[in-house]
């Protein structure tokens, strides 16, 4: 349901994406007798909501959803980093380059390999390098070198 919801968002179908992710959330709530699995599934649903809202151009909603979970709910470091990268993308979409940059640094500390090898991160760092406020992002060029985003 999470993947289908994200797919619907990529196709531009907000209503279908919402319905599928709501259904995934309902499924997660049924796991009340298995708190560890419920926590991981709930975090996964939130992560997919953030991704779907970002794709649909609704960064404010995505960031609202992101606040409903914490990194410890994700079962592995890769998923934590992917979530953080998506949150960084939302901050950039919302024209908050400082928050996007700080979130990328947190993602890099969480899972350096995940951040340094993703094309999405290279594009975001490239965008930050060309942002009018890039001078206020100390260490951005170093991040760009680590992610191979230097032009």
Where among 32, 55, 73 does a domain terminate? 73
Same structural domain, 3 and 59: yes
Residue span of the structural domain in which 61 resides: 1-73
Of 41, 73, 105, the residue that ends a domain is 73
Same structural domain for residues 6 and 27?
A: yes
Cα angle value 58/59/62 (rounded, 5°): 95
| Same domain, yes or no: 90 and 69 | no
If asked whether residues 86 and 45 sit together in one domain, one would say no
pLDDT tens digits for 83-114? 999 999 999 999 999 999 999 999 999 999 99
| pTM summary value | 0.94
pLDDT of residue 5: 97
User: What does the pLDDT read at residue 29?
Assistant: 92
pLDDT in tens, 42-81: 999 999 999 999 999 999 999 999 999 999 999 899 999 9
């Amino acid at each position: 349901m999470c993947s289908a919801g994200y797919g619907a968002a990529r196709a531009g179908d907000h209503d279908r994406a919402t319905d599928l992710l709501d259904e995934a959330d309902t499924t997660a709530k049924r796991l009340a007798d298995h708190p560890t699995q419920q926590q991981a599934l709930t975090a996964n649903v939130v992560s997919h909501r953030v991704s779907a809202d970002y794709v649909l151009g609704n960064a404010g909603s995505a960031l609202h959803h992101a606040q409903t979970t914490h990194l410890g709910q994700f079962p592995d470091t890769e998923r934590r980093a992917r979530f953080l990268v998506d949150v960084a993308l939302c901050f950039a979409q919302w024209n908050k380059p400082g928050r996007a940059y700080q979130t990328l640094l947190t993602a890099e500390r969480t899972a350096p390999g995940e951040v340094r090898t993703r094309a999405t991160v290279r594009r975001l760092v490239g965008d930050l390098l060309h942002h009018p406020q890039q001078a206020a992002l100390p260490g951005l060029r170093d991040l760009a070198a680590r992610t191979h985003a230097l032009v």
